[in-house]
Structure 1
Amino acid sequence: MRSFFRSRRPADEPVPAPANTRGAISVEAERIRPAEPAMPGMRREGGPIRRATAMDENVPRFSMPISNGLRSATTVAPEVSRRLREAFTPTRPKQEVNALFIGRLGTIRRIISAIEEERANVVLYGDRGRGKTSLANAVEQIAVQAGYLTIKMTCSAELGFEDMFRALMGRIPSSYHKGAAGNPFSGPRGFAAFDERLPKGPYTVTQLADVMDEIAGTHVLMVLDEYDRIASEDTRNKLAELIKNLTDKGSPVTLFIIGVAESVDHLLGKHPSIQRALVAVHLPPMSDREIERIILAGAEAAGISFSADVRRRIVNLSKGLPYYAQLLSLHSARAAVGRSSNQVERQDLAEAVKRCTSEAERALIEAYHRVIGPEGAGPRADVLYLCAQAPTDDFGSFRESDVAQVPLRGAGPAHKPEVINRTLAELTEGDGAILQRVIVPDGHRIRFRNQMMRQFVLLMQAERRELL
């Protein structure tokens, strides 16, 4: 690398420092004497001092370099980058209920009804990428507008039951205590927050429920997000006991639990005693109409437009997952802006698909290639495509008979039913199986073990199947 840069100028020719490269990374610097101190922007390698040169024009740069605030972008205008980041948010949930929050109104109504009318604790569950946290944020905002005191915590594997609820109770001010005479605003309290009402050391679920029963003048909604990360069986058992106690006491505290799971049992464990105290809400995939509205709303917010053909293809590739709709829309829009256009076309979507597959979760990439082999073709690849295109229920499962009905595009003649059935059996067996059979009242159905694999298969085979 050093010889490359030296070939562009004589080795001993001093280079004046450009006016706009203060603090820039040094690519090559003049030699300095070992005894002399190096100044900012210089390097010491022996010999005379040389200032750092400007970076090579081919080196990638941040689009919005920062120095005492935002400076002008060197490639994409900062305003355009900001609009795209706010319009399409695949890596972070929606924080506000605004024009960019699309759909899920029926689910929100069910959750509100459970909290407000049934005074039940709520569990929201479903597969990854469906927008559970965005929905929880919306419910939280709506509850605040109605006067609820909402407290949210994102769970982690190392979080224990006592630490979790001590932190939550510490966010309820003493002004909501009943007081000595049952008046929420009377009598000396002598504490700042409700965590001080708990024993200093370990405490029981009953003691916690008793302290929660001292709350008055509000209704507390405790939101426990990413509860699937809780690994402790003791924590899960204590939470189940707390749910039962809160219901029996008619406590002014409601738990709203959110997590990735196929069922409530997978999330909370099997506790039949709490079933009557819970309302379980499953979050299904979005409809095609809702996915298209996400694209249109984001496009309007970003000041760009997607052709009808591109919108249709993004909808087909997303298969009801808002995460993939946001991701494909964002990368497609950036590709269009990169070629100085505000119209997203099919070529931009093709670039987005390449980026999504190359940057996908490593587990998806490895599982996919382990199943189909190095050639990337053959009956397994074909059957995976058929499974990805098969019609599913709200839980992402499909009937075995539906697979053979899907037309096989861009890969020669269709396989015989016996070949498809034999390949399905191969894909559902063993530790590395990419599919799984699920039991239903009328027999069994099939689903991807990792639900995001469905979209990943389509993205990996998009060009071969002429989806682009």
Structure 2
Amino acid sequence: MSWWEKLTGRDAGTTAAVPRPVRPRPPQATGVREDPAGSALPRFRASAVDQLDSRRGSGASGARVRLRDAFTPSQPVVDPHMFAGRAALLTTLIRAIEDQKLHVVLYGDRGIGKTSMLHVLARQATEARYLVRYASCGEETSFGDLFRSVAADVPLLFHADYKPTSDAIEKGATLADLLPAGEVTPRQVSDQFARLQGTRLLIILDEFDRSPAGDFRRQVAELIKTLSDRSVRVQLVIAGVAANLTELLEHIPSIRRNIVGLPVTSMTREEVGTLIRNGERASGLTYADEAVEIITSLAAGSPYLAGLLGQHAGLAAIDRDSLVVEPQDARLAIRRSCDEIVNRISERSRIAIAQNEAAWDALALMALAALQRGGRFGGDVLAPLESDAQVQDAVMQHAAEANLIERIEADPAGQFRFIEEGVPTYLWMAQAARRLSIN
């Protein structure tokens, strides 16, 4: 039986026992030694000084330090050498900016790799002598404050009306010094950007879904239109959690020809495998083929899960004083990942899952679909368990009544999504633990 059959439960003729939700366990000590008082307490394995340079140290000690830099599930990838796959998407993104002079909107589910893509794009653009300014949006973001800060990072040296020897340039003035006091409008920002020369400015707005709807997004759309109409040497790249373009950017009809929407979807198995092998080279560990297969199958196309499992599996090998990551380490990584993820979901969701033990297999299939389909799914994902459409609908309705999933408002296909974003990741990992007999 293949790993995929074990994980999805699609091995015909077998009946799984009623599962119990995976319970959080106390963190296990990863290294214990006697302290002067004689009590055994967990200790740090490396000094903070050693961690400043991941090349320091040899053997397991050095590998542990390098592994932390090789797999960073809680942080975006900033090193291009650790960026796996996405070559076609990055090529399309660069061509849209460089050749077509378009503004770009990246959208997709959370944890799918949008921010990592933006960091790599910023690095590539900087190497091409673009001025790159990155900003992360929030609920309190205002148009004036955001673009005033962007303008403050653009030296007046690049303004067409000022000579390189002017006093203002020598004093370090910026485009922000030319903006009026108080609130600024898209037209006023565009007027200053229109005088840009000697370079191109790339403005990256990440987490745009967290920005306030209404005036802010309308003003951003208006700025995009004004910049495009005047052929200004400034382009915006906007990224956020969404299922489509219109969920992120309002007033689309007026700027549709000026922007391109690029979805960031799940990674392929080959791309996940490349991610693990990149980490292997960076850490100095060796990941056995079967261990890579386990991680690849479980990652479900998620770079976050791939990095999390890759890191925990590597640490498990190091904990047993080995530089080779074996299948047993990958299995232990599943348990440790479950223990980590369960603490990130609410008590309400944990209780709801515990009260629906009999529907665990169905919930796990919904979770897998959510991870692979950008968070949205319909009753068809339950086909491996039940082919009857009416029964599928009943199961989905029961999960909705348990407040685990909800129907997406105005979705033409009547699809569902999990109410809490961390739940599908936990359900899928817990399903893997139970299928692989790791409970």
Give the TM interval when normalised to the shorter protein. 0.7 to 0.9
- TM-score (normalizing by structure 2): 0.81
Compute the displacement of 1:329 (Å).
Answer: 0.7
* Cα pair distance change 1:284/1:211, threshold 3 Å: same
* Cα pair distance change 1:423/1:124, threshold 3 Å: same
Aligned pairs for 1:258-407 (under 5 A) are: 258-360=239-341, 362=343, 364=345, 366=347, 368-374=349-355, 377-378=357-358, 380-389=359-368, 394-405=373-384
* Cα pair distance change 1:249/1:361, threshold 3 Å: farther
Report how many residues are paired: 401
Q: Deviations over 1:22-67 (max 9, x none)?
A: xxxxxxxxxxxxxxxxxxxxxxxxxxxxxxx935542222222347
Q: Kindly, what percent of the aligned residue pairs are identical? A: 32
Aligned pairs for 1:90-239 (under 5 A) are: 90-98=73-81, 100-179=82-161, 185=164, 189=168, 192-231=173-212, 233-239=214-220
Compute the displacement of 1:206 (Å).
Answer: 1.0
Q: Distance in 1 between matches of 2:284 and 2:360?
A: 39
Q: Secondary structure at the residue paired with 1:250?
A: coil
Aligned pairs for 1:456-467 (under 5 A) are: 456-466=426-436
* Cα pair distance change 1:274/1:133, threshold 3 Å: same
Q: Secondary structure at the residue paired with 2:80?
A: coil
- Please say if residues 318 and 455 of structure 1, whose CA atoms lie closer than 8 Å, have aligned partners that are also in contact: no
The one-letter code matched in structure 2 to 1:364 is I
Q: Distance in 2 between matches of 1:433 and 1:384?
A: 9
Q: Distance in 1 between matches of 2:73 and 2:330?
A: 16
Compute the displacement of 1:435 (Å).
Answer: 4.9
- TM-score (normalizing by structure 1): 0.77
Bigger Cα Rg: 1
Q: Secondary structure at the residue paired with 1:118?
A: coil
Picking from 379, 389, 395, the partner of 1:423 is 395
Q: Distance in 1 between matches of 2:206 and 2:411?
A: 29
Q: In the alignment, what sits opposite 2:26?
A: none
Compute the displacement of 1:303 (Å).
Answer: 1.5
Compute the displacement of 1:124 (Å).
Answer: 0.9
Matched, 1:79 2:62: yes
Q: RCO (CA 8 Å, sep 6+): is it higher in 1 or 2?
A: 2
Compute the displacement of 1:433 (Å).
Answer: 3.7
Q: Secondary structure at the residue paired with 2:240?
A: strand
More helix by share: 2
* Cα pair distance change 1:179/1:362, threshold 3 Å: same
Q: Distance in 1 between matches of 2:140 and 2:160?
A: 33
- Please say if residues 404 and 418 of structure 2, whose CA atoms lie closer than 8 Å, have aligned partners that are also in contact: no
- Please say if residues 367 and 434 of structure 1, whose CA atoms lie closer than 8 Å, have aligned partners that are also in contact: no
Q: Distance in 1 between matches of 2:49 and 2:404?
A: 51
Q: Distance in 2 between matches of 1:89 and 1:78?
A: 18
Q: Secondary structure at the residue paired with 1:125?
A: strand
* Contiguous gaps of at least 5 residues in structure 2: 1-34
The one-letter code matched in structure 1 to 2:365 is L
Q: Deviations over 1:314-339 (max 9, x none)?
A: 12211100001000110111011001
The one-letter code matched in structure 2 to 1:424 is M
